[in-house]
Amino acid sequence: MSTSDLLFELGTEELPAGEITAMAEALCRGVTTGLNEHGLPFGTAHHFSTPRRLTVWVENVAAKGPDTDQHVVGPPLSAARDDQGQWTKAAEGFARKQGLTPDDLSIVEEQGVERIAVNVSHVGAAATDVIPNIISAAISAIPVSKRMRWGRSRDEFLRPVQWLLLLFGDNVLPLELFGLRSGRDSRGHRFHHNEPVAISEPCAYRETLREARVLVDSEERRSRIAEQVLALANQGEAVSLSDDLLDEVTGLVEWPTALRGSFDPAFLDVPAQALISAMKTHQKYFHLTDAKSGALLPTFITVSNIESQQPAQVVSGNERVIRPRLSDAAFFFANDKRVTLASRQERLGSVVFQQKLGSLQDKTARIVANARQVAALIDADVDVAERAAQLSKCDLVSEMVLEFPELQGIAGGHYAKHDGESAAVSEAIESHYYPRFAGDDLPPSPEAMSVALADRLDTLVGIFGIGEPPTGSKDPFALRRTSLAVIRMLINLGRPLPLNTLLQSACDQHAAELAPDTAEAVAQYILERLGSWYDDDDIHISVVRAALASGSQDLYDADLRVRALAAFAKSDTAEHLAAANKRVANILAKAESAESATSPDPELFVEPAETALYEAIKVSGDNLAPLLAERNYQSALDQLAQLRGPVDAFFDTVMVNAEHPAERSNRLRLLGELRALFTQVADLALLSSAAE
């Protein structure tokens, strides 16, 4: 089979760094999908991207798809021929649909019914004929944030398209898009090699452009940037190589060159987070810290898109650019400190949190009330939690946070410390937004935890209570992330704290009229998030559902049950007991509830297995009670595992639906006690074999 490599490059004006990789992946996916749809076998597919190009290279694409013969069966013969033996409209339509005439029809018998049929031969697609259409469709399917037009053209794309390169082997395939015709010319680096670059064949693409100062492989550029940045750090210094910044810088350059600059050490009087934000968010600089103390250093590393012969000039330019940003941060910080954090409370009244839920001042009052109650439950200092809650949102109306929104909480902590608030209050203000994302730090103190929980519980019940829960992909108040944060905090508290009690207390603080079932709805929503929470630990959803079936509203307790059950579910005994519990649940579901609500009468037992199971249940019940009191669910499940033998023997030898009504009722009550015993820990009937 003859094959050639396929290479397509879409050359554009500079694309947004955050969208480049996804666009290249989508283009590659569209091309390979199109090749598959046309029956063209191919080898490995690669995608490349820089700020000025999206590229797909597919190895060993077949020059022609295989010819195929297809046997197509149509309607019954009774509908295909009339009484005179002539083909009907149905037969003619069937033949026409296959590109044939009625003369090509044959008759076959399938399952005793005569039908018309045809043999259709399909000539395999020629790659050179279909590839241009495949490319065109793949480009149209690229997801972009906003399309634009340029010049007089009606064509649309994220940025103006400047050139098209399309090769199949060493031949150019014709393609007309965006008012351009495809060729074999790419473009070199905008400054180092600003001229067309001819590509002889697809496999030469990367090296040819490398010579033109373009690294088309984004992973190679990313690795080179990381190596260069790390190499510029001196001994005793550490570089913050955050993945998000590294990815963004990779999408901004074609020929990266890392350079080291510095700024006035006087700026270090400003909170480090503000300086880091100015460098990272606004200038895409990597900051450096002292390797031992972690203190920010007055230096930075920038990645240039040119390899300048006068690097000192490039560094000087970057130092001039960053100075105004740092000066702004210093000005805002100094200006904000002219008034106390507490004096900003009144201004919160003019900032709407949510139209139906009032202002940020209203929300603060609710957070204060909630924080006091949570603090009392977790043995935190109530006065510290209350004071931190009172000041928690005041920095939202500061100049620093208005300019640098990512400093909310952080700025408040600094201002509180400046105002003479205690270290505990300052820390709680700064960290009450934790955890901000998956894997982020938790609030470090019980007081901070109290404010963090109070804030999130208020948001959850408020938004749910006014009938605006998340729907589909829309979650404007980030309630999914908020719920996961609540889950993580309550579990990590390491103490019982009923969720429904916390939620009802949060509901009680609202002056707005909330839906009557708000607390229950929010609790259910949070519990539903546990599936994705435990998915990260490879714990099957059936384990979570089985543990929650105990009715526990305490997430710490639920976590202990889930983890114990996850370990137990891997045993052979768990599978047997799960099957037995399902059988018991099905039997009881069909029986009258009254029959299984009272204890069985040992005098009515007929079979030895009945007596054995009854006695085993009593022993397990006695042994289970202290284990449940200690929340020792692993040992509790081990205790229940000892019932496997008596349970198996019961079902092997005892007919539950006995003819005698008294015996049947007594056996149902025995099974009711068995099920009640198990569900004190978890409902094993809900365990799935997939949990293993």
Q: What is the DSSP secondary-structure string of 623-675?
A: HHHHHHHTT-HHHHHHHHHTTHHHHHHHHHH--SS-SSHHHHHHHHHHHHHHH
Domain assignment of residue 632, yes or no: yes
Give me the pLDDT at residue 689, please: 53
Domain of residue 18, CATH code: 3.30.70
List the structure tokens of 149: 């037009």
Mean predicted confidence (pLDDT) in 533-556: 88
Give me the pLDDT at residue 166, please: 97
Overall number of domains in the chain: 5
**8-state DSSP, 354:** E
Span 87-114, pLDDT tens digits: 888 888 888 888 888 888 888 888 888 8
Least confident among 595-599, 659-663, 684-688: 595-599
Domain assignment of residue 541, yes or no: no
Distances (CA, A) of 68 to 65, 71, 103: 9, 10, 21
Q: Which pLDDT band holds residue 169 (cuts at 50, 70, 90)?
A: very high
Measured from the Cβ of residue 160, the count of other Cβ atoms closer than 10 Å reads: 15
- Asked if 402 and 418 touch (Cβ cutoff 8 Å), the reply is no
Same domain, yes or no, for 231 and 295? Answer: yes
Span 497-525, pLDDT tens digits: 889 999 999 999 998 789 999 999 999 99
Same domain, yes or no, for 600 and 668? Answer: yes
Give me the pLDDT at residue 597, please: 58
Same domain, yes or no, for 135 and 195? Answer: yes
pLDDT at 593 over 70: no
Domain assignment of residue 542, yes or no: no
For residues 50 and 603, give the distance between their C-alpha atoms in angstroms, rounded to a whole number: 83
List the structure tokens of 241: 């190589």
Same domain, yes or no, for 153 and 297? Answer: no
> Which position has the higher pLDDT, 654 or 361?
361
For residues 446 and 507, give the distance between their C-alpha atoms in angstroms, rounded to a whole number: 22
Domain assignment of residue 246, yes or no: yes
Q: Which pLDDT band holds residue 690 (cuts at 50, 70, 90)?
A: very low
Q: Of the segments 173-187, 463-477, 561-575, which one has the largest average pLDDT value? A: 173-187
Phi first, then psi, for residue 479 (nearest 5°) are -70, -25
The residues, any chain, with a CB within 8 Å of residue 50's CB and separated by 6 or more, are 20, 214, 215, 216, 218, 221, 254
- Asked if 374 and 448 touch (Cβ cutoff 8 Å), the reply is no
For residues 303 and 300, give the distance between their C-alpha atoms in angstroms, rounded to a whole number: 10
Q: Which pLDDT band holds residue 437 (cuts at 50, 70, 90)?
A: confident
Same domain, yes or no, for 168 and 313? Answer: no
Domain of residue 568, CATH code: 1.10.730.10
**8-state DSSP, 505:** H
Domain assignment of residue 549, yes or no: no
Span 234-260, pLDDT tens digits: 999 999 898 999 999 999 999 999 999
Same domain, yes or no, for 646 and 530? Answer: no
Measured from the Cβ of residue 196, the count of other Cβ atoms closer than 10 Å reads: 14
pLDDT at 596 over 60: no
Tokens 């620093």 sit on residue: 400
List the structure tokens of 92: 């003619």
Same domain, yes or no, for 670 and 530? Answer: no
Same domain, yes or no, for 347 and 495? Answer: yes
Mean pLDDT for the chain?
91
The model's pTM: 0.76
For residues 144 and 560, give the distance between their C-alpha atoms in angstroms, rounded to a whole number: 45
Same domain, yes or no, for 53 and 154? Answer: yes
Same domain, yes or no, for 503 and 368? Answer: yes
pLDDT at 482 over 90: yes
Domain assignment of residue 551, yes or no: no
3-state helix, strand, coil in the chain (%, to 5): 55, 15, 30
If DSSP codes are grouped into helix, strand and coil, which group holds residue 188?
coil
Domain assignment of residue 553, yes or no: no
Of 192, 253, 207, 265, residue with least CA distance to 226: 253
Half-sphere exposure of 617 (CA within 13 A, CB side): 23
Last residue of a domain, one of 122, 151, 166: 122
pLDDT at 283 over 60: yes
Give me the pLDDT at residue 65, please: 84
Give me the pLDDT at residue 691, please: 47
Of 146, 145, 182, 176, residue with least CA distance to 163: 182
Last residue of a domain, one of 315, 336, 357: 336
Same domain, yes or no, for 60 and 162? Answer: yes
Same domain, yes or no, for 411 and 510? Answer: yes
Give me the pLDDT at residue 69, please: 78
Tokens 């790659």 sit on residue: 127
List the structure tokens of 99: 């590109």
Measured from the Cβ of residue 499, the count of other Cβ atoms closer than 10 Å reads: 22
The residues, any chain, with a CB within 8 Å of residue 390's CB and separated by 6 or more, are 342, 345, 364, 368
For residues 586 and 580, give the distance between their C-alpha atoms in angstroms, rounded to a whole number: 10
- Asked if 325 and 276 touch (Cβ cutoff 8 Å), the reply is no
- Asked if 329 and 274 touch (Cβ cutoff 8 Å), the reply is yes
Span 345-391, pLDDT tens digits: 999 999 999 999 999 999 999 999 999 999 999 999 999 999 999 99
The residue type of 381 is D
Last residue of a domain, one of 536, 571, 598: 536
List the structure tokens of 116: 């018309």
- The Cα angle at residue 122 between residues 120 and 125, in degrees rounded to 5: 170
For residues 233 and 250, give the distance between their C-alpha atoms in angstroms, rounded to a whole number: 19
Distances (CA, A) of 249 to 44, 53, 203, 241: 28, 16, 27, 11
H/E stretch holding 417 reads: helix 410-418
The residue type of 158 is L
Q: Is the dihedral of CA 484, 486, 490, 496 positive or negative?
A: negative
Of 477, 462, 455, 478, residue with least CA distance to 521: 462
Domain assignment of residue 557, yes or no: no
Report strand pairing: 180-181 vs 176-177: antiparallel
Give me the pLDDT at residue 592, please: 61
241-244 contacts, C-beta under 8 A, 24 or more apart: 241/286, 242/280
Listing from the earlier edge strand, what are the strands of the sheet with 237-239? 237-239, 286-290, 296-304, 257-262
- Domain with 624 in it: 562-691
Give me the pLDDT at residue 43, please: 95
pLDDT at 165 over 90: yes
